[in-house]
């Protein structure tokens, strides 16, 4: 296990751990804070849309840039620095245009680091142990996502409505994450060019990629169109009359189970195949969504959010591991950046469509349509993309 979990993998994983503590401390209170400084629901939607679009488009560009100059660390470091710095700035001025700029800066940081970070993990792994490596990273990342909301709950219990101070406190784990990035070192690589690539040059990768990559990405992006924001899952709890504390508690429970399962499922994926594990994850997602519209009592949500954690642990890191295995050497960040860019755009469309369906036809219709849609994606991945046959 020591040979698999190298120094670099451990450092990158702990950087993600502390960053997610900082980010998820703010996630449950962000809408409340924005409303407290005068944001309407429509403005909040525009803010999140702009931020995610920025992150999405930048993932492909910076992934390509990382491959072109043959370096990962600067992108990882500056990506985490921007995200950490943006958090206290969010509370500095209660002016909408300022919040827009700072929130966009935060998501830009994610865009800068994502492709290079995942490529760095891939570079440290072999095809035989990528499930373990990406699973371990996802486990620590998600453990931070569980601790963050818990820390926020404790703070707000003693200091109700002190949202600005919560933004300031979130700087501490962010600074720890930044300090760890200075311990990272690039592997010795041949630099093909120091010149910055064109912003949309990563799109050319589609023409260069294999048929397997194309079919997998088509399946993954179609799935993303049916996978709306997790906020809708949390709203289903509120829709059934449960308290905010219960809702956040279920969210923490989901992240804890997700964190605990990610590494074991990564080990399993290396044994039974990354493709089969991905199919299991998507099938589990479909079951959760088909049942969620009918959930009504406390244990229903606990059970379904537990199942949802199985889906997340079986797909988040596994999909990137599969993509990295299909990428040519030296183009891993480009391949992952290409996929994650379009995934971000599809996620925006998915949440917009889900909101429209919920508003027009009701909550049950939204969950049922998503569940049936993902079942069709599973059929595509098995019989057309033949992902279940991908053993590496």
Cα–Cα dist 84/170, whole Å: 8
User: How far from the centroid of its chain's Cα atoms is residue 281's Cα?
Assistant: 15
Q: What is the pLDDT along the chain (392 residues), one digit of tens a residue?
A: 446 788 999 999 999 999 989 887 876 666 666 667 776 655 665 666 666 666 777 888 888 888 888 888 999 999 999 888 887 777 676 677 777 777 778 888 888 898 888 889 888 888 788 888 988 998 999 899 889 888 888 888 788 877 778 888 888 998 999 999 999 988 765 555 566 666 666 778 788 888 888 999 999 999 999 988 787 887 788 788 888 778 878 888 998 999 999 999 998 988 888 899 999 999 999 999 999 988 888 899 999 999 999 999 999 888 888 888 888 877 888 888 888 888 888 887 887 788 888 888 888 998 999 999 999 999 999 998 887 666 54
What kind of fold does domain 8-181+208-389 have according to CATH?
Growth Hormone; Chain: A; (1.20.1250)
Q: Where are the beta strands (DSSP E) in the chain?
A: none
Cα–Cα dist 270/231, whole Å: 31
| Tokens standing for residue 312 | 């997340």
Which residue shows structure tokens 């992150």?
55
Cα–Cα dist 252/264, whole Å: 20
Which pLDDT score is estimated for 44? Answer: 60
Which pLDDT score is estimated for 2? Answer: 47
Which pLDDT score is estimated for 193? Answer: 56
Which pLDDT score is estimated for 93? Answer: 66
In 3D space, the residue among 29, 30, 390 whose CA is nearest the CA of residue 219 turns out to be 390
Which pLDDT score is estimated for 90? Answer: 72
Which pLDDT score is estimated for 29? Answer: 67
pTM greater than 0.75 (yes/no): yes
Cβ atoms 338, 216 nearer than 8 A: no
Cα–Cα dist 357/363, whole Å: 8
3-class secondary-structure state, position 92: coil
Half-sphere exposure of 97 (CA within 13 A, CB side): 0
Taking the domains of the chain in order of start, what are their residue ranges?
A: 8-181+208-389
Cα–Cα dist 345/219, whole Å: 15
């Amino acid at each position: 296990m020591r040979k698999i979990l190298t120094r670099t993998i451990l450092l990158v994983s702990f950087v993600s751990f502390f960053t997610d503590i900082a980010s998820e401390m703010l996630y449950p209170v962000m809408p409340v804070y924005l409303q407290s400084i005068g944001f309407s629901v429509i403005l909040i939607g525009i803010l999140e849309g702009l931020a995610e679009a920025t992150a999405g488009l930048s993932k492909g560009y910076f992934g390509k840039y990382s491959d072109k100059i043959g370096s990962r660390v600067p992108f990882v470091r500056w990506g985490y620095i921007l995200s950490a710095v943006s958090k206290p700035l969010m509370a500095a001025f209660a002016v909408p245009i300022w919040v827009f700029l700072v929130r966009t800066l935060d998501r830009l940081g994610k865009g800068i680091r994502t492709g290079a970070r995942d490529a760095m993990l891939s570079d440290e792994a072999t095809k035989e142990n990528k499930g373990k490596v990406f699973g371990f990273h996802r486990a620590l990342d998600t453990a931070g996502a569980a601790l963050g909301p818990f820390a926020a709950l404790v703070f707000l219990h003693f200091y109700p409505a002190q949202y600005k101070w919560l933004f300031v406190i979130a700087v501490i784990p962010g600074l720890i994450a930044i300090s760890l990035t200075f311990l990272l070192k690039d592997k010795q690589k041949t630099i093909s060019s120091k010149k910055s690539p064109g912003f949309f040059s990563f799109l050319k990768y589609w023409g260069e990629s294999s048929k397997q990559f194309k079919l997998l990405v088509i399946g993954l992006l179609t799935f993303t169109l049916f996978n709306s924001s997790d906020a809708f899952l949390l709203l289903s709890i509120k829709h059934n009359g449960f308290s905010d504390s219960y809702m956040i508690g279920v969210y923490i429970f989901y992240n804890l189970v997700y964190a605990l399962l990610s590494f074991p499922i990564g080990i399993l994926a290396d044994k039974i195949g990354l493709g089969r594990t991905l199919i299991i994850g998507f099938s589990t997602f479909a079951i959760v969504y088909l049942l969620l519209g009918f959930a009504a009592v406390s244990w229903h949500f606990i059970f379904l959010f537990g199942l949802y954690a199985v889906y997340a642990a079986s797909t988040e890191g596994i999909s990137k591991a599969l993509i990295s295995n299909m990428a040519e050497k030296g183009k891993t960040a480009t391949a992952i950046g290409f996929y994650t860019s379009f995934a971000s755009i599809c996620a925006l469309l998915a949440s917009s469509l889900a909101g429209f369906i919920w508003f027009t036809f009701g909550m049950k219709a939204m969950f049922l349509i998503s569940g049936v849609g993902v079942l069709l994606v599973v059929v595509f991945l098995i019989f057309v993309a033949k992902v279940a046959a991908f053993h590496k």
